[in-house]
Amino acid sequence: MGLLSDPNRRKAITTARILILNMILVLHGDSVVCYLAGIAWFMGLAFEPFTLRTYMSENAMGSTMVEERFPSGERALATAREFAAHKKKVGGMPVDWLVKTMRAQGLEVFTQSFSRNLPFPDESKERFVVRGTNVYGILRAPRAPRTEALVLSAPCSPGNSNNQAVGLLLGLAQYFRSQIYWAKDIIFLVNEHDLIGVQAWLEGYHHTNITGMGYTPLQGRAGSIQAALSLELNSDVVTSLDLVLEGLNGQLPNLDLANLFHAFCQKLGILCTIQGKLQRSDWDTVEGYTHSAQTMLLMVLKQASGRPWGEHGLFLRYHIEAASIRGVNSFRQYKTDATSIGRLFEGMVRKLNNLLERLHQSYFFYLMPSLTRFVSIGYYMPAFGLLTTILLLRALDLWVHLGTPTPVTEDGVGEGESPSSPGLLSVLTPVVISHLTGVALYTLPVLSQEMAVEHFPVSETEAVVLTAIAIYTAGLALPHNTHRLISGEGTEQGWRVLKLVALLYLAVLLGCTALINFSLGFILAVTLVPAAACVTPHVPKALSAVAMVLLSPGCTILYCVFLFQELQEVPVSLAEGWMLFLSVISQGILDHALYGSLVYPLLALLVYPCWLLFWNILFWK
Amino acid sequence: MATRHLFIELQTLNRRAKLKIIFAKFQCLCIIPALVGVDKKTCIQFCLCTFQEEMVIRPLYSGDIYASFQFRTQWDTDFLHDGKKVSHYRLFPKSLGQVLSKFSVRELHISFTQGYWRTMQWGQPFIPSPPGAELWVWFHHTVTDVDGNWKELTNVLSGIFCASLNFIDSTNTVEPSASFKPLGLGNATDHRFLRYATLPREIVCTENLTPWKKLLPCGSKAGLAVLMKSEKLFHSSFHSQAVHIRPVCKDWQCTSTAWELRQTLNVVFDLYTSGQGKKEWSLFKMFSRTLTEACPLASSSKIYVDVTDNPGGELFDLSPSSPLISTAVVLGDRRTYSVYDLTKKETFGQLRSLNLLLRWKGENDMLRPPLHAERYVSGFGLQKGEIHTCLYNSHPYRAYPVLLLDSLPWYLRLYVHTLTVTSKTRENKPSYIHYQPSKDRLRPHLLEMLVQLPPHSVTEVTVQFERALLKWTEYTPDPNHGFYIGSSVISALVPSIVAMDTNSTRDRPLFSSFFPTKEESSYFMRVYTEPLLVNLPTPDFSMPYNVICLTCTVVAVGYGSFYNLLTRTFQVDEPSAPLAKRLANIIRRLRGVPLL
């Protein structure tokens, strides 16, 4: 085309290229600035003047008035005691009692039994082969054709916990049944074995099987579920209610659900928290800022873990807006009774019942430094963007350097072939080998647990975690092995090409991760970007090797564990932290197997191999 | 003209109803010939209409109560065959009569339903109907433009019933080949004259009830219709109103045909919301009215109360009790009814008003209905899904075939190769499949299957689909609500309970119980599944979305022309050579000499 064949235009393009080249040289030193700016931007998000106030976007929930009249909190607590007695008697879920009670309230009651063999024993919850039964009752809305439903769920937990939640659930069911205004069916679900039960129920309801769960098919359904609320309550009175939003793979419910909760807490005068932290009004003091920064960081850490932090977390996969509400009973004087909590739920369910469409008006991607403030995707993405810019600039820099040995002549056709172009093999080999290590890290721990248990005095869980750590560490020895495969010494050009590939790979990887789960992408970027940007074969080996290991994905998890404990105000010693770290790894592997969390495969199959590429570059010569 | 006429008709209906009652009272005296002493034959010639009304009350085991009204107007005239213009209407509503003759309708069935009939709790309804609106019409075989007639008819009916029937168009109309046979006279089998459509989203309310009540000869002024107060009828679990018009035999020899208009209204009152949890029902509690008289125009006016399971009064108390008992085989089961004849004075007692009272005493388990069905969408995400239809045959030892009709909108792209029918984990091959693929924006999918249901089994029909991406103008104003998919229709001849009763648990003469009688051995049953709500991939119709769309358009237009300008090489266009020169060049080319 004319654009390239015209000599004048070509000259202009060449000039532009030189200009860009100079710019890059100038920017070379600006990586540090970019990095610091990214971190500063991120930390600034917790500063109140920079954030937006939450507001109800959904018209159907904003302007319509509902009255809360739930009267029978005491009766609900009596039901809870009865439930507790039956639970104790049966030694598990009192299925028959629940069925009878719900049926007497005029609900359509169904049960679902399920079984699941865990890949290895879950030591924190002491379970390996899980068998259980879910009981759910459907309140059929009058004159509604079974097309839409809302879910209220409460777990039947072992021991004495969550009895009040089930009692309140049954109390609400009884009260709701006598009302005429329902437009959507309401499903009251009492599930056994917390998340596994919910997973079985959801898979049964949607007739899918993604995690290899064994369950009996559901007999009663109520159309497409519009929203779900999960209730966790351990005491007759509470001081505050905590809202839990983080779901599987970092998914969040629509922000309007959080707004709804907050609006009703305000209306009924109930203390409400997010991440267990009350809101403070002194944003202009250092303490105020630290407080909201802590809240936000906790949310980031929880979201990054990709775990469902409450029962609601599993609903989100099915496009059901869901949140868990957890009663907290602390030593504070001001208490809220069960009637008020019942009214809060009544109000929320009635407003959700008024919905004409699914919740979609408000944000799905946000961070919350407090319950009344939120940071939308448009505000937090630049922080991540600044970090990835470093990778792109470095890649551009390398690309230009790879291109410069051929002088651009006035009449040349363009860039000629580089004289010392490295073979495809020298780049491909490390890529393939590090990915094979990743595959080993992903598959071997679970596969080889039996063998490990036979040969070493460890339990299955320990075997899995220790195998994972062993493979992870063994990967560090790779560069030497890789070199044996590539004939000859690595060339200068070779590592540059490899680094270019690795930089772009990392940039794409982090970019995609951040789009789905911002927190995970950002945390990985904070540690991986400096390592990726600085590594060359020419830096002092020992020192940089230590730095590289400290900035590796595995160590990132370790820091996150310590930071999380610190933020939750339960600091741990090094040894305890290490134990926690081990349990986090086993939980991550279990979450992947049980609920399909993607963090473990992402780290094992993509992020770790990518980091190994940079490790390779360090030991290129 | 006709529509305008109808509109006026609608407006004046209320006033006319009163006049009609006075006028018709005079005419209808001859229905009771003994009173006037007129010969019976001359009376039949003179009075061409009869009107009957009845109500059936069935206490349900769930504690709810089911009330079903039926109003039947029979008109002994045939305005399709005679070709003459019928202008004298008496009891038959003129608005419907004109519609029938104008569009050459042979049979018309229309129902408006709010709620879903819960077969598992309530058993079977007398006349089933799907949630929303349903309309099916058989046209006369002389009609040439069926689609045109159908379109006009739906629009006219939309006006008569104040419903959104005008939303029926080619994208939701189907011609079922086997599921909907004419219910009246004549064995028409050519389904080209049949049209079937449902509007699952239609919401039924007072505005639909009022025109429906105005079709009654007595309106809601007298007779059973006084009970129809909308504030009570819509304070219920289920509400369904229907109009069925069909040709029937005039007499038992069937020498000539008559038109039958059947208006039905079914309502189920909920134990917990309307009954305050007490198992105690009365006419006043249900309808906030009592009965004082029959419709004067009605030849019969009766209330039936189902007392089959209450022979000794151990299940519930019924007061006032009635000496009249009637038995009938209803839906394959022999039922016993207490009958209250409203045309008789003694029914109303001393208070001159009838308020039936039903008080439950015991608990009872319910018989499982022999056939029921459910349907749901499985899977998650917005790309694909799977429709599951489960058909339950709870008959202990008899298999029977059912006809399944599915009409799915075009924006669900069916993968017909994934259609599977399984019962008892084994493949169940349908003996008849009629499938009409959809055309985008023109017509829906139609799938009809004849499936044999093994005894005591669940048969599952699954088919996968892909959700189509609509054009942005095709989304409804509330796109995130989802799109409704109408109910599937299951029609079956179900083995009846009476015929099933081989060990004769009930007292019957021995000679009557060896061979199952033919007409009782099975009965027709229609079951509707729940409608579905399916979410389609929906763009975010927000301000940023609009901005992006607009910017993209501007950029595309701007970039295109700018790029065109940049890359085009301009040349001075030489004026075309004169004709002589061109001719000369052609000759030169032929000669091989250089051109001019």
Q: What is the ipTM of this complex?
A: 0.87
Interface of B with A in 190-229 (CB under 8 A): 200
Structure tokens at A537: 């074969």
Strands (E), B36-143: 49-59, 65-75, 105-114, 132-139
Residue of B nearest to A108 (CA): B121
In this complex, the residue of B238, B273, B480 whose CB is nearest that of residue A178 is B273
**CA proximity to A247, closest of A305, A324, A314:** A314
Which bin fits B379, alpha (ψ -120 to 50), beta or left (φ > 0)? Answer: left
Residue of A nearest to B484 (CA): A147
Which of B205, B238, B273, B542 to mutate: most A Cβ within 10 Å? B273
8 Å CB contact of B535 and A356: no
Q: Please, which residues bridge with residue B304 across strands? A: B56, B339
Flag whether pLDDT at A415 surpasses 50: no
**Cβ-based contacts of B535 with chain A (< 8 Å):** 224, 319, 358
**Cβ-based contacts of B376 with chain A (< 8 Å):** 207, 221, 223
**CA proximity to B279, closest of B303, B307, B312, B315:** B315
DSSP β-ladder status, B333-341 and A321-328: unpaired
How would residue A332 be classed by pLDDT, with cut points 50, 70 and 90?
confident
8 Å CB contact of B533 and A144: no
Cβ pair B465, B413 in contact under 8 A: yes
Which of A214-223, B434-443, B580-589 has the weakest average pLDDT? B580-589
The B522-528 sheet, strands edge to edge: B432-436, B445-453, B400-408, B489-495, B522-528
Three-class DSSP category at B477: coil
Flag whether pLDDT at A308 surpasses 80: yes
**CA proximity to B68, closest of B311, B205, B309, B236:** B236
Question: What distance in Å separates residue B351's CA from the closest CA in chain A?
Answer: 33
Cβ pair B498, B329 in contact under 8 A: yes
Query: How many CB atoms within 10 Å of residue B326?
Result: 11
Q: What's the rounded Cα separation, in Å, for the pair B233 and B591? A: 99
- Any chain B CB within 8 A of the CB of A206? yes
Residue of A nearest to B61 (CA): A106
Better pLDDT: A128 or B442: B442
Cβ pair B370, B395 in contact under 8 A: yes
8 Å CB contact of A106 and B272: yes
Better pLDDT: B46 or A62: A62
Cβ pair B225, B219 in contact under 8 A: yes
Q: Which residues contact B89 (CB under 8 A, 6 or more apart)?
A: B97
**Cβ-based contacts of A145 with chain B (< 8 Å):** 115-116, 131-132, 200, 530-531
Q: What's the rounded Cα separation, in Å, for the pair B489 and B446? A: 12
How would residue A309 be classed by pLDDT, with cut points 50, 70 and 90?
very high
Flag whether pLDDT at A159 surpasses 90: no
In this complex, the residue of B378, B531, B533 whose CB is nearest that of residue A207 is B378
Q: Which residues contact B278 (CB under 8 A, 6 or more apart)?
A: none
Question: What distance in Å separates residue A183's CA from the closest CA in chain B?
Answer: 10
Structure tokens at A365: 């991607």
Across residues B105-131, what is the average pLDDT? 91
**Cβ-based contacts of B200 with chain A (< 8 Å):** 145
Structure tokens at A48: 């109140």
Find the radius of gyration of the CA atoms of chain A.
Answer: 28
Confidence at residue A364, expressed as pLDDT on a 0 to 100 scale: 92
How would residue B44 be classed by pLDDT, with cut points 50, 70 and 90?
very low
Residue reference for tokens 């932090």 = A309
Computed over every residue of chain A, the mean pLDDT equals 87
Q: What angle do CA B193, B194, B200 make, to 5 degrees?
A: 150
C-alpha dist (Å) from residue B3 to B92, B153, B159, B208, B244: 18, 10, 8, 18, 21
Better pLDDT: A480 or A602: A602
Residue type for B1, please? M
- Any chain B CB within 8 A of the CB of A115? no
Q: What's the rounded Cα separation, in Å, for the pair A86 and A94? A: 6
Cβ pair B243, B108 in contact under 8 A: yes
8 Å CB contact of B535 and A319: yes
Flag whether pLDDT at A6 surpasses 50: yes
Confidence at residue B580, expressed as pLDDT on a 0 to 100 scale: 83
Mean pLDDT comparison of A340-349, A463-472, B518-527, highest-scoring range:
A340-349
Q: What's the rounded Cα separation, in Å, for the pair B431 and B422? A: 13
Q: Across the A/B interface, how many CB contacts are shorter than 8 Å?
A: 97
Residue of B nearest to A106 (CA): B272
Across residues A363-388, what is the average pLDDT? 92
Cβ pair A452, A463 in contact under 8 A: yes
8 Å CB contact of B376 and A3: no
Question: What distance in Å separates residue A446's CA from the closest CA in chain B?
Answer: 28
- Any chain A CB within 8 A of the CB of B563? no
How would residue A151 be classed by pLDDT, with cut points 50, 70 and 90?
very high
3-state secondary structure A32-95: HHHHHHHHHHHHHCCCHHHCEECCCCCHHHHCCCCCCCCCCHHHHHHHHHHHHHHHHHHCCCCH
Which of A108, A146, A221, A377 to mutate: most B Cβ within 10 Å? A146
Flag whether pLDDT at A420 surpasses 70: no
Confidence at residue A23, expressed as pLDDT on a 0 to 100 scale: 63
The B280-282 sheet, strands edge to edge: B280-282, B357-360, B316-319
Three-class DSSP category at B294: coil
Cβ pair A381, A45 in contact under 8 A: no
**CA proximity to A601, closest of A499, A520, A498:** A520
**CA proximity to A347, closest of A271, A259, A215, A466:** A259
pLDDT, tens only, B456-507 = 999 999 999 999 999 888 898 888 999 999 999 999 988 876 655 555 455 5
Which class for A169: exposed (0-12), middle (13-18), buried (19 or more C-beta within 10 A)? buried
DSSP β-ladder status, B457-467 and B371-378: unpaired
Which of B533, B534, B564 to mutate: most A Cβ within 10 Å? B533
Q: What's the rounded Cα separation, in Å, for the pair A585 and B100? A: 75
8 Å CB contact of B116 and A144: yes
**Cβ-based contacts of A208 with chain B (< 8 Å):** 378-380
- Any chain A CB within 8 A of the CB of B504? no
**CA proximity to B402, closest of B488, B528, B493, B487:** B493
8 Å CB contact of B114 and A146: no
**Cβ-based contacts of A148 with chain B (< 8 Å):** 533
C-alpha dist (Å) from residue A256 to A60, A169, A183, A343: 11, 23, 20, 19
Q: Please, which residues bridge with residue B134 across strands? A: B111, B198
Find the radius of gyration of the CA atoms of chain B.
Answer: 31
The B105-114 sheet, strands edge to edge: B173-174, B194-199, B132-139, B105-114, B238-249, B257-269, B65-75, B49-59, B300-306, B333-341, B325-330
pTM of the model: 0.87
8 Å CB contact of A224 and B533: yes
How would residue B37 be classed by pLDDT, with cut points 50, 70 and 90?
very low
Across residues B11-17, what is the average pLDDT? 44
Confidence at residue B368, expressed as pLDDT on a 0 to 100 scale: 73
Three-class DSSP category at A237: coil
Torsion, Cα B509 B512 B514 B515, to 10 degrees, reads -170
- Any chain B CB within 8 A of the CB of A224? yes
Interface of A with B in 280-319 (CB under 8 A): 317-319
Strands (E), B454-556: 457-467, 483-485, 489-495, 522-528, 532-534
Confidence at residue A4, expressed as pLDDT on a 0 to 100 scale: 46
